[in-house]
Structure 1
Amino acid sequence: MKTAAQTTFAERLGRMLGRAWRRCAHLDRRAQGWLLARGWAPGAAKATLLAAKLVAFGLLLYAAFWLALLVAFSVVAAWAARGSAYDEYEEGEIGDQADHKRSVFYDPINYNDDPDPRFDDER
């Protein structure tokens, strides 16, 4: 038998979160007591602290929204870049002979090239 019981990760995490919650509640009571000691009415002190909490929560939501938007944009950009065919070897390409095909303004009509599948002309 084991002499000492071992705590699991879930127990440690729960205890840590419980301590954090109790610490936040203690700080809230302490801030409310500080406001009451300064002569604030109890209702005004509670309302002020509630407004401060709501503002902090709103700022966290705002930051989370932009972070999520940045992550989503990064995922879409990575997905689009994965599907790009810039690195694929084109059959029949010899040296720098087909460099003009990578140009932004490339059109097979302007060059003496074989038909390019990117510019299918269905007549």
Structure 2
Amino acid sequence: MSTTTRISTAERLGRSFGRGWRAYVRGERRASNWLVSKGVPVAGATVLLWLVKLVVLGVLLYSAFWLALLLVCVVAVGWAANQSHSDEEFHLQFPTTLEELRETPGYDPNLYNDTSHEMYKDDD
């Protein structure tokens, strides 16, 4: 049995996030120093870096909004497609048999070429 202590996955993940955060802070400090070396005042460099952060945050929120809206639309379409109707509830809006057609108001056998109807008149 080994006596070495192994770090957990959570600790490993936390360390990698910490390394990434430190790298980001170093890069931000380097960018700020570069701006100051180019003649931008320290306050101006700070404001510029905050402006960049806010623009990036705005772009992320904008894209997250549209992705969320797209997800809501996909869920709504999926829900609507999942609504099943039984055959008993389904009724056609038009007659399906000749008897149903004859019972509709304003039925004219000449329009449907219904030669077996008593009101049918041949134009010969």
Normalized against structure 1, the TM-score is what?
0.70
CA distance in 2, matches of 1:64, 1:20: 23
Residue 111 of structure 1 corresponds to 96
CA displacement 1:1-48 (0-9 Å, x = unmatched): 532211111111111111111111111100000100101100001001
CA displacement 1:50-106 (0-9 Å, x = unmatched): 001100010000001111111111111111111134xx6x47xxxxxxxxx89xxx4
Is 1:39 equivalent to 2:39 in the alignment? yes
Which stretch of the first structure deviates more once superposed, 33-42 or 73-82? 73-82
CA distance in 2, matches of 1:72, 1:33: 45
CA distance in 1, matches of 2:24, 2:58: 18
| Identity percentage of aligned residues | 41
Structure 2 gaps of 5+ residues are 101-124
RMSD: 2.6
Residue 121 of structure 1 corresponds to none
Residue 73 of structure 1 corresponds to 73
Residue 119 of structure 1 corresponds to none
Normalized against structure 2, the TM-score is what?
0.69
CA distance in 1, matches of 2:77, 2:9: 37
Q: What number of residue pairs does the alignment pair up?
A: 99
Which has the larger Rg?
Answer: 2
